[in-house]
Amino acid sequence: MSLLVYGTVALDNVKTPSGSRRDLLGGSAAHFAMSARLFTKVHLTAVIGRDFPKRHIRFLRAKGIDLASLEQGPGKTFRWDGEYKQNDMNTALTLATELGVLVGCDPFVAHQHRNIPHVFLANIDPDMQMGLIHMMRRPRLIGLDSMNLWIAHKRESLLKLMKKVDLFVANDGETRALTQEANLIKAAKLLRKYGPELIVVKKGEHGVVFYSDSFMFAFPAYPVEKVIDPTGAGDTFAGGLMGYLCRAGRLNRSALKQAVIYATTLASFNVEGFGLSRTGRLTLSEVNRRMRAFQSYISFR
Amino acid sequence: MSLLVYGTVALDNVKTPSGSRRDLLGGSAAHFAMSARLFTKVHLTAVIGRDFPKRHIRFLRAKGIDLASLEQGPGKTFRWDGEYKQNDMNTALTLATELGVLVGCDPFVAHQHRNIPHVFLANIDPDMQMGLIHMMRRPRLIGLDSMNLWIAHKRESLLKLMKKVDLFVANDGETRALTQEANLIKAAKLLRKYGPELIVVKKGEHGVVFYSDSFMFAFPAYPVEKVIDPTGAGDTFAGGLMGYLCRAGRLNRSALKQAVIYATTLASFNVEGFGLSRTGRLTLSEVNRRMRAFQSYISFR
């Protein structure tokens, strides 16, 4: 079954202790798609500017990602400049953001994509995410990611949106900011009350907590020593999660556990290279190999 | 097989968002012993002052803890005053410390205890921990815990001591302070180079990472919502870890995993009450029940 992702496709300038890169292909939808493509057909919905390099288009197409809903608008592509410091590779410092073509831009979904049953709203303005939901005919599973910017400035829009989605993915900082609760277990329960039945709280190097009414579980992160560039790790995680669930066609406990373990494994690859350089050349058999090592790492026997 | 623990027995004044308590029985060795007693005979080695309440002695004895090496010295019992704030229950704020009888006090071990094969050096001055090692005849397994105070002020003594021990338990802050490395996986490997073969890095609400030359593993923490008083959670963890290893009589991968899961489960009980109130009335069958729930929480199937 196929999967539609809506979010940003960006040009990133990134500086980390390992070096710096300019004009990287980035954005929430691009990172998500590069991960989800390993499990299912991905239709990417986003807007790019006139300046968007053709090589990035060719790269996405070569990875099997459908770009029929990728719109080119007047203006410049969304840009993000960020930096990570040695002593806190979990936190991105935003140096500059240029919205460009994103300003005043309504979501666009090609006609033939409006029946897609699995939808992921990757990080972008929650009003635009809501607009996307209204364009879809009968989504069976809707996932949502957001960020501190929207929690702070568009809280009401985000809360409205949360009532419409099934699965909510947030990191620990976002979870605490949204719920005003320091204890993450209590906070996850509060998120559930906001609407989504499935709550995934990502804690970076500390792993993940999953919460639903019927069960909870938690896993540590895959032990990565070589963190080159964490940009997009959260989107890569979400891509693995939704991609696997879409392929599995089930939402029971065991499918959700497998999905979270795939998501964690994929995120561990993402941080090992700048931008999409590592996930772009991943194969599912490589992922499965690391996943077996990870399962042995977290098994209690 | 029996287990000797050396550390502090203290009187604690604790303030948390749930309330405050005075003259609680506390200290690293007391919390450790209350946890380890569930698995094996525990011999507690510490010094108390003339003011130490008899009810605390009766309580420790009633729990089966051997006090033949508990010495009463001239002066006052070691005292700790601490506070925890709502938004960071992981961090104790020390309001006051009165060393009292600990000043200039050499370790004492009753003659009949010097052959005990399993030894744990709970948090206390590393020079005193080294003194204790020299009193033991042929320890088979020595475990060590320390704290930021000693890492900052007695680094050389601590590094000398680390060469003598087999198992080192530290929290994430201590691990980073000692190694000057932010990545905890790299930091755990550095700790291994300082001497101990078995490295356990505790991350509070985020669980545990274990490192040795032959294997690594990690577990999340048990999901506790009701955190009343975290004082002694680390010592309780260490007590479960060493207690189980002592009972198992093996140090292979599966025994170490079980030991860490028991340790995590015991720490989750400790935080549910002030001082030793919760661990003091624990039974092993109660622990086993929660441990089964925990295993289902962390299992990947």
Domain hosting A167: range is: 3-298
CA angle B267, B268, B271 (to 5 degrees): 85
Q: Distance from first CA to last CA of chain B, Å, rounded?
A: 35
- What pLDDT score was predicted for residue B89? 85
Residue type at B35 in one-letter notation: S
Contacts of A217 in chain B (CB under 8 A): 297-299
Residue to substitute from A90, A264, A272, A299, interface B, most B β-carbons within 10 A: A299
Q: CB distance A218–B185 less than 8 Å?
A: no
What is the mean predicted confidence (pLDDT) over A123-134? Answer: 97
Residue B104: band (very low, low, confident or very high) from pLDDT cuts 50, 70, 90: confident
Q: Using the predicted structure, report yes or no on whether residue A301 has a pLDDT greater than 90.
A: no
CA angle A100, A106, A111 (to 5 degrees): 125
List, for residues A74-86, the tens digit of each pLDDT value: 999 999 999 999 8
What is the mean predicted confidence (pLDDT) over A232-239? Answer: 97
Q: Please report the sign of the dihedral spanned by the C-alpha atoms of residue B146, residue B152, residue B157, residue B163.
A: positive
Q: Which two tokens stand for residue A96?
A: 């500059």
CA angle B292, B4, B213 (to 5 degrees): 65
Q: Assign 3-state DSSP to chain A and report helix, strand, coil percentages, each to 5.
A: 40, 25, 35
What is the mean predicted confidence (pLDDT) over A245-250? Answer: 96
CA angle A102, A103, A108 (to 5 degrees): 50
- What pLDDT score was predicted for residue B154? 97
Q: How far apart are CA B114 and CA B265, in angstroms?
A: 30
Q: Using the predicted structure, report yes or no on whether residue B280 has a pLDDT greater than 90.
A: yes
Taking Cα atoms as reference points, which of A298, A241, A297 lies closest to residue A267? A241
What is the mean predicted confidence (pLDDT) over B168-190? Answer: 96
Taking Cα atoms as reference points, which of B110, B176, B267, B125 lies closest to residue B144? B125
- What pLDDT score was predicted for residue B160? 98
CA angle B186, B191, B196 (to 5 degrees): 140
Q: Assign 3-state DSSP to chain B and report helix, strand, coil percentages, each to 5.
A: 40, 25, 35
Given a contact cutoff of 8 angstroms between Cβ atoms, the answer to whether A67 and A108 are in contact is no
Taking Cα atoms as reference points, which of B39, B27, B47 lies closest to residue B63? B39
Q: How far apart are CA B256 and CA B245, in angstroms?
A: 7
Residue B227: band (very low, low, confident or very high) from pLDDT cuts 50, 70, 90: very high
Residue type at B183 in one-letter notation: N
Residue A88: band (very low, low, confident or very high) from pLDDT cuts 50, 70, 90: confident
List, for residues A276-296, the tens digit of each pLDDT value: 999 999 999 999 999 999 999
What is the nearest CA distance from A172 to chain B, expressed in angstroms?
11
User: Sheet containing B198-202: which strands, arranged edge to edge?
Assistant: B70-72, B42-48, B3-6, B118-121, B141-145, B167-171, B198-202, B208-211, B216-219
Could you give the 3-state DSSP secondary structure of residue B92? strand
- What pLDDT score was predicted for residue B108? 92
Given a contact cutoff of 8 angstroms between Cβ atoms, the answer to whether B232 and B92 are in contact is no
List, for residues A32-76, the tens digit of each pLDDT value: 999 999 999 999 999 999 999 999 999 999 999 999 999 999 999
A225 burial level (CB within 10 Å; 0-12, 13-18, 19+)? exposed
What is the nearest CA distance from A252 to chain B, expressed in angstroms?
11
Q: Does A122 touch chain B (CB under 8 A)?
A: no
CA B177 to chain centre: 19
Q: How far apart are CA A4 and CA A69, in angstroms?
A: 9
Residue A91: band (very low, low, confident or very high) from pLDDT cuts 50, 70, 90: confident
Residue B237: band (very low, low, confident or very high) from pLDDT cuts 50, 70, 90: very high
Q: What is chain A's mean pLDDT, rounded?
A: 96
Q: How far apart are CA B214 and CA A257, in angstroms?
A: 27
Give the count of Cβ contacts less than 8 A between chain A and B.
Answer: 87
Q: Which two tokens stand for residue A102?
A: 């994103």
Q: How far apart are CA B280 and CA B35, in angstroms?
A: 8
Q: How far apart are CA A254 and CA A49, in angstroms?
A: 42
What is the nearest CA distance from A190 to chain B, expressed in angstroms?
12
Q: CB distance A297–B185 less than 8 Å?
A: no
Residue A2: band (very low, low, confident or very high) from pLDDT cuts 50, 70, 90: very high
B254: domain CATH number?
3.40.1190.20
Q: Does A290 touch chain B (CB under 8 A)?
A: no
Q: Does A17 touch chain B (CB under 8 A)?
A: no
DSSP state of A232: T
CA distances from B104 to B72, B77, B125 (A): 14, 13, 11
Q: How many residues does chain A have?
A: 301
What is the nearest CA distance from B226 to chain A, expressed in angstroms?
9
Residue B40: band (very low, low, confident or very high) from pLDDT cuts 50, 70, 90: very high
Taking Cα atoms as reference points, which of A248, A235, A245 lies closest to residue A166? A245
187-206 of A, contacting B, C-beta below 8 A: 203, 205-206
Residue of A nearest to B258 (CA): A300
Pairing state of beta strands A3-6 and A118-121? parallel
pTM of the model: 0.90
State the complex-level ipTM.
0.85
- DSSP for A241-255 reads HHHHHHHH---SHHH
Residue of A nearest to B210 (CA): A297
Contacts of A185 in chain B (CB under 8 A): 223-225
Residue type at B115 in one-letter notation: N
List, for residues B117-131, the tens digit of each pLDDT value: 999 999 999 999 999
- What pLDDT score was predicted for residue A13? 97
H or E element at residue A60: helix A54-62
What is the mean predicted confidence (pLDDT) over B205-227? Answer: 94
Given a contact cutoff of 8 angstroms between Cβ atoms, the answer to whether B238 and B143 are in contact is yes
Read off φ and ψ for residue B237, nearest 5 degrees. Answer: -60, -50
Could you give the 3-state DSSP secondary structure of residue B38? coil
Q: Please report the sign of the dihedral spanned by the C-alpha atoms of residue B100, residue B102, residue B105, residue B111.
A: positive
**Total tally of structural domains belonging to chain A:** 1
- What pLDDT score was predicted for residue B189? 97
- What pLDDT score was predicted for residue A89? 85
Residue type at A47 in one-letter notation: V
What is the mean predicted confidence (pLDDT) over B26-40? Answer: 98
- What pLDDT score was predicted for residue A107? 94
Q: Using the predicted structure, report yes or no on whether residue B172 has a pLDDT greater than 90.
A: yes
Residue A199 pairs in a beta bridge with A168, A211
> Where do we find the tokens 């027995």?
B9
Could you give the 3-state DSSP secondary structure of residue A88? strand
Taking Cα atoms as reference points, which of A147, A119, A146 lies closest to residue A133? A119
212-231 of B, contacting A, C-beta below 8 A: 216-221, 223-225, 227
Pairing state of beta strands A3-6 and A42-48? parallel
Q: Using the predicted structure, report yes or no on whether residue A27 has a pLDDT greater than 90.
A: yes
Where would I find the beta strands (DSSP E) of A172-215?
198-202, 208-211
Given a contact cutoff of 8 angstroms between Cβ atoms, the answer to whether A84 and A93 are in contact is yes
- What pLDDT score was predicted for residue A90? 80
Could you give the 3-state DSSP secondary structure of residue B144? strand
Which of B86, B183, B225 has the CB atom closest to A227's CB atom? B183
- What pLDDT score was predicted for residue A104? 86
- What pLDDT score was predicted for residue B196? 98
Taking Cα atoms as reference points, which of A150, A77, A69 lies closest to residue A116? A69
Q: CB distance A183–B217 less than 8 Å?
A: no
